[in-house]
Structure 1
Amino acid sequence: MAERETRAVYPTALGASGPKTITLLGHDLAEDVMGSVGFGALAFWLATQRRPSPGETRVFEAVLAALADHGFTPTAIVTRLTYLSAPDSIQGALAAGLLGGGSRFLGVTEDTGRFLHDVVESLDGAVPSEGADWDAVALRTVQQQRTAGKFVPGLGHHVHKEGDPRTPRLMRIATEEGLFGPHLSLFAAIGRVHPTVLGRTLPLNGAGVCGAALADLGLPLPLLRGFALLARTAGLIGQLAEELRHPVARDIFLSVDLNNTSVPPDPYVPEPSTEESGNG
């Protein structure tokens, strides 16, 4: 008797389709979700597979708003330029902008969240309850980074040198919703104590405070950059919409193309190796 064929099974709690219905997270998409669940709440729900509270939704959507658009950043410029080059590929223009989300733009959200989480985890549950105690943790943390020659993620901004307006606003929203947790507490403390170590005052930037807030919401750390990209997708759509009405990409292109200067080649010369040769 032939062996019964084993059929592969791929379990998912997300979307599934039948002849007449679509389910999403165990609910009827058409009847229970559409028109009833906002996009921000749905994005949170999809990532955690639990429905957020109203307060969590407010903080999460405030983060998305904070990261949606910040002017002519490299991500916005490359999106507009890619559309200029390939107007038949909206997806390519959006993807080009999203691919620029790294350690200097957008990726700071994840970097800060992970950094703060590592410090909080190192406390082994002995989480401070008072601001002064958080200051001690923050001071030790900044000193260790300084000694190691490393930056503190979330500190500094190339434009908002006197303070990023997104940071106090998001902190107020989290406080109002009772969601000002250990990551935001540590981040705020870093803002208070770092001048003592660095000898200068740097702003706590918006991308960093967003990472702290997302970590306090308990969202998966590996996805923090994904939420920043989700927010920026809306901003890039806005950039493209404005490019359709008031194009600037061609001017940006021509400003470089018509003003470049030919110079002699500058060959790359490898730096001398500092490793000792082995005797083989």
Structure 2
Amino acid sequence: MPEYPTALGASSLDKITLLGQDLAADVMGEVGFGELAFWLAIQRRPTPGETRVFEAVLAALADHGFTPTAITTRLTYLSAPDSVQGALAAGLLGGGSRFLGVTEDCGRFLHDALSTARGGPPTDEAGWDELALASVRSARAEGRVIPGLGHHVHKEGDPRTPRLFHIAAEEELVGPHLSLFAAIGRIHPQVLGRTLPLNGAGVCGAALADLGLPLELLRAFALLARTAGLIGQLAEEIRTPVANDIFLSVDLNNRAVPPHPADGGEASASG
């Protein structure tokens, strides 16, 4: 018979192992969920400081009001109250370049910029500012968005950003990604001609990258956090529903307009 080796969960007649531990005896009641999620992803147990930073990221990304992901989850539940899994999945599918996906996008942007630093990461603020300036100018010249800059609500500053920097500093876990992100916050007005806040999703991506977590999974951690938030949205929808009002506000206020054919010629009714 073929074998399928795994360091994750495995079961026998009377025992379940997980990450080399006895699940019932060594994990349940002994390991927090955030710590376990980190451990599962990187297959080493995080330090208390790493756990604190990681769980701060999860808290920062769990819920942020009536975002598209929350509204989608509530509306899907309105349409299919028999499918909680469908409502949660619908909300998570909206994690992309504008919401939640910025966490991964920022981590990758910072990682790519760091890879261009000759002689390794800078050692002083002037060096970080120089690297940040080069990376922002390059992105601007190529017409790319600088992920982690700007927020549709927190125009004067995202309150999550300084708090996460503070926690990482307390745990001595401010690494190159957070250092470069801070430098981008200092220098970007020179290139963009205006000052934008460093947003929470971006700083979370920088912090996760500094923890050594795989870049390919940064969005997954944002989705893990948002799952908890969407469960809260569903629980509130059950207690005090608003989804039907959201639906009716659109349905009862639609306005018929003539069709607008797409560019490329007039629409044809012929087959």
Q: Do the two structures share a fold, i.e. TM-score over 0.5? A: yes
CA deviation after TM superposition for structure 1 residue 269, in Å: 2.5
**Counterpart in the other structure of 2:94:** 100
CA deviation after TM superposition for structure 1 residue 270, in Å: 2.6
CA distances 1:76-127 after superposition (whole Å, capped 9, x unpaired):
0000000000000000000000000000000000000011011112225521
CA distance in 2, matches of 1:211, 1:72: 22
Q: Is the 8 A contact 2:117 2:131 kept in 1?
A: no
TM-score using structure 1 length? 0.93
1:127-166 aligned within 5 A: 127-166=121-160
CA distances 1:137-196 after superposition (whole Å, capped 9, x unpaired):
111111111111211110111111100000000000000001000000000000000011
CA distance in 2, matches of 1:265, 1:134: 52
Q: How many residues align?
A: 265
Gaps of at least 5 residues in structure 2 are 266-271
CA distance in 1, matches of 2:165, 2:232: 26
1:116-195 aligned within 5 A: 116-195=110-189
Match of 1:89 among 74, 79, 83: 83
Give secondary structure in 1 for the equivalent of 2:115.
helix
- Greater shift, 130-139 or 220-229, is seen at 130-139
Match of 1:269 among 238, 263, 269: 263
CA deviation after TM superposition for structure 1 residue 221, in Å: 0.4
**Distance change in 2, residues 1:221/1:125 (3 Å):** farther
1:47-126 aligned within 5 A: 47-126=41-120
Structure with higher Rg: it is 1
Give secondary structure in 1 for the equivalent of 2:209.
helix
- The residue type paired with residue 226 of structure 2 is R
TM-score using structure 2 length? 0.96
- The residue type paired with residue 100 of structure 1 is G
**Counterpart in the other structure of 2:220:** 226
CA distances 1:44-81 after superposition (whole Å, capped 9, x unpaired):
00000000000000000000000000000000000000
**Counterpart in the other structure of 1:27:** 21
CA distance in 2, matches of 1:106, 1:235: 12
Q: Is the 8 A contact 2:76 2:86 kept in 1?
A: yes
- The residue type paired with residue 220 of structure 2 is G
**Distance change in 2, residues 1:53/1:72 (3 Å):** same
CA distance in 1, matches of 2:137, 2:111: 17
CA distance in 1, matches of 2:264, 2:228: 43
- The residue type paired with residue 28 of structure 1 is D
Gaps of at least 5 residues in structure 1 are 1-6, 272-280
**Counterpart in the other structure of 2:268:** none
Give secondary structure in 2 for the equivalent of 1:122.
coil
Q: Percent identity among equivalent residues?
A: 78
**Counterpart in the other structure of 2:269:** none
Match of 2:250 among 246, 256, 265: 256
Match of 1:202 among 190, 196, 201: 196
CA deviation after TM superposition for structure 1 residue 220, in Å: 0.5
CA distance in 2, matches of 1:41, 1:193: 35
4+ long deviations beyond 2 Å: none
CA distances 1:251-275 after superposition (whole Å, capped 9, x unpaired):
000011111011112122238xxxx
Match of 1:46 among 12, 24, 40: 40
CA distance in 1, matches of 2:119, 2:47: 25
CA distance in 2, matches of 1:22, 1:153: 42
- The residue type paired with residue 100 of structure 2 is L
CA distance in 1, matches of 2:143, 2:136: 10
CA distances 1:197-235 after superposition (whole Å, capped 9, x unpaired):
111000000000000000000000000000000000000
- Greater shift, 89-98 or 126-135, is seen at 126-135
Give secondary structure in 1 for the equivalent of 2:10.
strand
